[in-house]
Amino acid sequence: MKKVLLGMSGGVDSSVSAIVLKEMGYEVIGATMKLWEDKCNPEIEGGCCSFSATYDAKRVCDKLGIPHYTLNCEEDFTHYVIDDFIHCYENCKTPNPCIECNRYLKFGAFYQKALELGCDYVATGHYAKIEYSSKYHQYVMKKSEAKQKDQTYFLYCIPKEVLPHILYPLESFQDKEEVRKLAERYELKVAHKKDSQEVCFIPDNNYVGFIKKNSPQSFQKGNIVLKDGTILGTHEGLIHYTIGQRKGLGIGYKAPLYVIDLNKEKNEVVVGEEKDLYQKELQATDCNFLLDIDLSKPQEVMAKVRYRAKEAKAILTMEKNIAHVVFEEPQRAITPGQSVVFYMDDVVLGGGKIVSFR
């Protein structure tokens, strides 16, 4: 019997994943990663890092008759996720901590723990699919059957060599309602538990307050300007702004204004009209690719510049580990710090961190 280490967050997705794996005949071990604790509010509720999440995961494992462990990963999480989150905002970038967590924790440290326990696979409740491709002659990651829930955008950074050892038990589910119905059938108390929406280590969603409390850097007032340098007002610190933002600017103009750039050197928030948000090219670094294809040649891909963005046709060219992407149509609010992810049909090619646009 093959053994699998399943990451359990206490939510319905990972709980149903345990059910599916058992039904498939695997020996399942459930594990919850202790990633972060609010030292001022250690009993705080909500999120995948809370005491209640660990309790819910253990209760599900007890009901299903599988072992459950809690893994202390706080040190790695602080280094790879929280410190990176703060550093990005200090440098006018908008980070995506879930991507870093998947890269270094869920498919990094967690995978290593699976090997230590003699497991053949790791599994999570993500909506994605792993299969062997006869076209590419390798294991590939594909989009989930549940198109509205597909999470491959957050998973492009997984090490390619780990792909054959990953299971996504929810890969064939069509939607979240189908998942909840299976949880109901097994009488799991988490069947209708709400999805966590906030960043797990900022449960009150006040990321500005979190960064100010944890960053030695001061965020000083500066000017809000148009592209030509015309001063329209003042801002309370660059940390309060991200590209595409419209609300909270506190200035009047003849047309609605949006943040179109952040200039750290001049401590300026650059604003413009909505048409100024659209850009056709970007550059990305820190790239990770899951397909063995010839990247020395330009590749036609579908690319998305944020999780909720639609995929768009583009040409990808790699030069000295820098991805140069030219879109067929301009894209809205390309944001440094976010990731651009590339697809070939429904297969994930890879992705990288956006560093600039034009």
Residue 72, token pair as written in the block: 């202390």
Q: What CA dihedral angle connects 31, 52, 184 and 155, to 10 degrees?
A: -50
Residue 151, token pair as written in the block: 């999470």
The two beta strands, 299-304 and 258-263, are unpaired
**All residues at 6 or more sequence positions from 1 whose CB lies less than 8 Å from its CB, including other chains:** 25, 26, 27
Residue the block writes with tokens 């300026």:
268
Residue 69, token pair as written in the block: 């462990």
H or E stretch at 95: none
Measured between alpha carbons, how far is 17 from 125 in angstroms, rounded to an integer?
6
Instruction: Give the torsion sign (CA, 332, 336, 339, 340).
Output: positive
Indicate the DSSP class of residue 3.
Answer: E
Measured between alpha carbons, how far is 157 from 104 in angstroms, rounded to an integer?
9
Find the angle CA(191)-CA(20)-CA(108) to the nearest 5 degrees: 95
Residue 316 · residue 299 · CB < 8 Å: yes
Short-list 112, 84, 118, CA closest to 98: 84
What is the chain's percent helix, strand, coil content, to nearest 5?
A: 30, 30, 40
Q: Which residues are catalytic?
A: 101, 200
Q: What is the CA radius of gyration of the chain?
A: 22
Residue 98 · residue 154 · CB < 8 Å: yes
